[in-house]
A = this chain, B = another copy of it.
Amino acid sequence: MFTLDLRLEASSIFVADLALCQARLQADVRWPWLVLIPRRDGLRELDELEPHELDQLMREILVAGQAVRAIGEVAARPVEKLNVGALGNVVAQLHIHVVGRRSDDPAWPGPVWGFDAPVGYGAEEAAAAVALARAKL
């Protein structure tokens, strides 16, 4: 059983259901950014996953990183550093951020979480980013 938190749903766009996680594009054009949400209800912390799920999660984090890099390449803003974070201070449902960073991005070198207001995608840009991510996942 998997119910996506409404705030995660509102702030991101569906990309794909992977073996463990639902992958979503963060609706913020400032960074190539995917969010992975393990598709099981009631999860808050990493240690609530089974060992084999944790290994799978690590693999999905790596492919999400490749997808994020692909989105950055197409936008002619190649990723210089991946940031991976599981915070959950605002939305408790376990979710993992995979964000592509550049030294000229607005929040660099600070974290992206909570940094100013998101800048939404245009419809075509969003569709292109989702397609790119899907091809990598």
Number of identical protomers: 2
**For residue A111, which residues in chain B have a CB less than 8 angstroms away from its CB?**
85, 87, 111, 113-114
Stretch at the interface among A31-39, A50-58, A118-126: A50-58
What residues on B are CB-neighbors of A85 within 8 Å?
83-87, 111
Q: Assess A46 versus B83: contact at CB under 8 Å? Given A108-B89, A110-B113.
A: no
Main secondary structure of the interface of A (DSSP, over half): mixed
Total interface residues in chain A, CB < 8 Å: 31
Q: Is A88 an interface residue (CB 8 A)?
A: yes
Does residue A62 face the partner (Cβ distance < 8 Å to B)?
yes
Asked whether any CB of chain B lies closer than 8 Å to the CB of A82, the reply is yes
